[in-house]
Homo-oligomer: A and B are copies of this chain.
Amino acid sequence: MPIRQEKERNAARSRAAILDAAEALFAARGYDATSLTEVGAAAGVSRGTPGYFFGSKAELYRAVLDRAFGEVREAVRAGRARALASSQSPEVILAGAVSDYFDFLAARPNFVRLIEREALSGNGELEGAEHLSAGQEALAAISAELGLDDAESGDAAQLLLSIIALCWFPLIHARTVAPAVGVDFGTAADFERRKRHVVSLVLHGLSGLARSTTSTLAEADAHD
């Protein structure tokens, strides 16, 4: 009877471990600052294994990005379905969606960091049309929910962009500009307060956007 091996051969497990390690390292340190040696070490495999499975460092990076985007698209789709099935007022639905989006991102800081790095590097790695679908779906959902026609959907796009900006920011700058302007993000309660502020801002902006709608703002404001 053979002694229990410390690590059994398992391609799927190794691939996933490498992908996990690479995602964490790329998000934390950036592409150039992480070596395949580090990725291998973090994944519990050797220096050469990432190359064996993914061909090259660039392809590994691409694989990390693809997986992350897949998860986000999935989440957006689920959130949209939930919103459409709901019978709440647009304000309440929007407040819930923003709140959920905020929480989703807070639980996956790697995703925001990866996109941020991509955006800064400016190589059109993200501009492949496939990656845009999550955003397009979200926009369509918001426009439909708010009952905006095509002419007004530009406003919905602006609002969506603002939502994204507001939700992303604390994840990146919790230790830089947030403390510089006197906002702490030490505890979960700090994030909760920030979330309430974002939801409130968006709802007030919404009321300014569609002035004709009867305001159920007070009700929606109490969400969360």
Task: Please list the residues of chain A having a beta carbon within 8 angstroms of any beta carbon in chain B.
Answer: 28-33, 113, 115-122, 124, 126-127, 131-132, 134-136, 138-139, 153-155, 157-162, 164-166, 168-170, 172-173, 175-183, 193-194, 197-198, 200-201, 204-205, 207-208
CA–CA, A182 to B127, complex, Å? Answer: 13
Cross-chain contact B164 with A166 (CB below 8 angstroms) = no
Cross-chain contact B204 with A208 (CB below 8 angstroms) = yes
Cross-chain contact A182 with B135 (CB below 8 angstroms) = yes
Which B residues are CB-close (under 8 A) to A136? 180-182
Closest chain B residue to A172, Cβ basis: B119
Closest chain B residue to A198, Cβ basis: B162
How many copies make up the complex?
2
Closest chain-B Cβ to A198's Cβ sits at a distance in Å of 7
Closest chain-B Cβ to A23's Cβ sits at a distance in Å of 14
Q: Which of A31, A132, A138, A182 has the most CB of B within 10 A?
A: A182
Which B residues are CB-close (under 8 A) to A173? 119
Which B residues are CB-close (under 8 A) to A134? 180
Closest chain B residue to A134, Cβ basis: B180
Which B residues are CB-close (under 8 A) to A170? 161
Which B residues are CB-close (under 8 A) to A121? 29-30, 33
What are 30 A-B residue pairs whose CB atoms fall within 8 Å in the complex?
A: A30-B30, A30-B121, A113-B120, A116-B116, A118-B176, A119-B175, A126-B176, A127-B175, A127-B176, A134-B180, A135-B182, A138-B181, A139-B181, A154-B182, A157-B181, A158-B193, A158-B194, A159-B197, A160-B181, A160-B182, A161-B170, A161-B177, A165-B166, A165-B168, A166-B166, A201-B205, A201-B208, A204-B204, A204-B205, A204-B208
